């Protein structure tokens, strides 16, 4: 008989995808709202990349879009985590969607190169608001699902993000070519308002702490520090909170380079080329979690899988930089296959790390833990993208050599995880088993007398 920990739900007892959506109305509404919002997001993203490419033609200017998305989120994430743990998460998500629906309409006024700085400001505002939405959503999933539904809910959420990335990127690329950039921005705004309506109809129970007295800034600093201290006091939470950032330390630069690769593979239709490559990214991140859920059924193996997924993702991205890009239609087909495989690995890393964090973290700390995790991811992404865009802007690397260099780093980070983090997790599992056996022996000792 296979040994199960208290956190390990046997495969045969886990909820199925259809069962979860049919039987859990609150999750269904949250999921539907996210689905619509994600579709608009990816329409928007391809439009932004295309707009800046047309107005500036600068690799650094395109990299600045990524940085404008990452850095404000990173800086606001700790405070966002505190807000998520202190206030009603459902209302926060509704407010965030409404605010973002208004902000993205500002992109309609970006019509020339001199307006590009305003575009970065609007992106930053959108991301600051989003920094509250994402940890609120991640923290809410355990509150509206049963333990047997949690992994399925996260796998479905990730697959939804991935499917909408694939559909939104592909359709967004062609929508830009057919209808124009401004129409795509309007579509994105409408999707936020629709998503807010779905969340309005969702009930999300929550254990909200009573705010401590004192000035708000002082309280915020103290509570943010408590969140960091929670990671330090609980190494099994702290270690897993680094999994996504470890991938992003090189993966951020690699994803940024996909936008530049889109112009290489489709010179006459830049938006369509970008859309196809980001579609491949979405397909991969959708496949990975589903496969991981089916194959890696023992939760104790997941920390090792996290490191392996980082390294495997790097191997496929290295191939992106090494294959010839002058094979005509075959180039696109080969690159799509490699990007799908690379992001299937990254998607598995993402979902398994999310589930481990949700299970290992108390509800009253969960918002701060997820916000801190996002802070780490965004900082890693920002530094990776900044380095890649500078190397390409200064022409110190070609695009193909940059893919190979950053992929090599990603493989190294994955191997480092396997050598450093995975053994600590195995040791912690062994110590937990010993402690449980000792308690069992103590419980049976009186009966022996």
Residue 2 falls inside a structural domain:
no
pTM score, whole prediction = 0.75
pLDDT of residue 305: 95
Dump the DSSP string for 195-217: HHHHHHT------PPPPPSS-HH
Asked, for residue 44, whether it belongs to a domain, the answer is yes
Residue at 377 is within a domain: yes
Is 325 part of a structural domain of the chain? yes
> Which residues form the domain of 430?
14-203+233-437
Q: Crossing angle, helix 243-265 and helix 270-295, to 10 degrees? A: 150
Lowest mean pLDDT among 101-105, 238-242, 263-267, 328-332: 263-267
Per-residue pLDDT, 5: 43
CA–CA distances in Å: residue 226 to residues 77, 215, 331:
14, 16, 50
Phi, psi angle pair for 66, to nearest 5°: -60, -45
* 270: CATH: 1.20.1250.20
**Total structural domains within the chain:** 1
Please give the pLDDT value at position 13: 62
Give the pLDDT mean for 47-70. 88
Mean pLDDT of 294-314: 92
Q: What is the predicted pLDDT for the residue at 207?
A: 66
283 occurs within a structural domain = yes
Output the pLDDT for position 337.
94
Across 119-123, 188-192, 412-416, 440-444, least confident range:
440-444
User: Residue 6's pLDDT is what?
Assistant: 42
Q: Taking phi first (over 0 means left), then psi (-120 to 50 degrees means alpha), and beta for anything else, what does residue 180 get? A: left
Give the pLDDT band (50/70/90) at residue 166.
Answer: confident
d(CA 371, CA 9): 26
The share of the chain scoring above pLDDT 70, in percent, equals 87
Q: What is the mean pLDDT of the chain?
A: 83
Of residues 232 and 435, which shows the higher confidence score? 232
Structural domain contains residue 175: yes
pLDDT at 2: 35
Inside any domain, residue 225: no
Q: Answer whether residue 374 is part of any domain.
A: yes
């Amino acid at each position: 008989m296979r040994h199960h920990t208290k956190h390990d739900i046997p495969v045969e007892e886990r909820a199925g995808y259809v069962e979860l959506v049919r039987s859990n109305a609150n999750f269904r509404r949250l999921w539907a709202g996210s689905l619509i919002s994600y579709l608009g997001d990816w329409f928007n993203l391809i439009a932004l990349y295309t707009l800046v490419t047309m107005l500036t033609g600068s690799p650094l200017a395109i990299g600045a879009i990524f940085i404008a998305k990452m850095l404000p989120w990173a800086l606001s994430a700790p405070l966002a985590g505190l807000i998520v743990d202190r206030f009603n998460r459902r209302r926060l998500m509704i407010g965030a969607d409404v605010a973002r629906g208004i902000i993205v309409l500002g992109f309609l006024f970006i019509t020339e190169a001199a307006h590009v700085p305003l575009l970065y400001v609007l992106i930053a505002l959108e991301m600051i608001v989003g920094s509250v939405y994402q940890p609120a959503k991640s923290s809410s999933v355990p509150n509206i699902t049963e333990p047997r539904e949690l992994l399925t809910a996260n796998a479905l959420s990730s697959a939804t993000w991935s499917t909408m990335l694939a559909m939104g990127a592909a359709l967004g690329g062609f929508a830009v070519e057919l209808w124009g950039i401004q129409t795509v921005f309007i579509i994105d705004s409408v999707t936020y308002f629709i998503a807010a309506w779905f969340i309005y109809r969702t009930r999300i129970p929550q254990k909200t702490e009573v705010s401590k007295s004192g000035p708000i800034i002082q309280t915020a600093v103290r509570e943010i520090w408590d969140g960091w201290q929670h990671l330090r006091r609980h190494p099994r939470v702290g270690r897993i909170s680094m999994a996504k950032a470890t991938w992003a330390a090189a993966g951020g630069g690699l994803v940024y380079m996909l936008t530049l690769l889109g112009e290489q593979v489709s010179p006459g239709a830049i938006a369509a080329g970008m859309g196809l490559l980001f579609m491949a990214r979405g397909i991969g991140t959708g496949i990975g979690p589903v496969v991981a859920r089916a194959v890696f059924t023992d939760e104790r193996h997941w920390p090792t899988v996290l490191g392996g997924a980082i390294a495997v993702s790097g191997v496929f991205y290295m191939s992106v930089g090494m294959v010839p890009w002058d094979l005509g239609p075959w180039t696109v087909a080969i690159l799509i296959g490699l990007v799908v495989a690379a992001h299937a690995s990254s998607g598995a890393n993402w979902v398994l790390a999310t589930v481990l964090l949700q299970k290992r973290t108390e509800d009253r700390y969960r918002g701060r833990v997820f916000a801190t995790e996002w802070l780490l991811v965004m900082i890693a992404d920002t530094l990776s993208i900044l380095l890649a865009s500078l190397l390409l802007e200064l022409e110190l690397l070609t695009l193909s050599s940059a893919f190979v260099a950053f992929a090599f780093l990603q493989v190294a980070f994955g191997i480092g995880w396997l050598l450093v983090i995975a053994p600590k997790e195995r040791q912690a599992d062994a110590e937990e088993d010993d402690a449980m056996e000792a308690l069992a022996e103590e419980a049976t000792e009186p009966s022996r007398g």
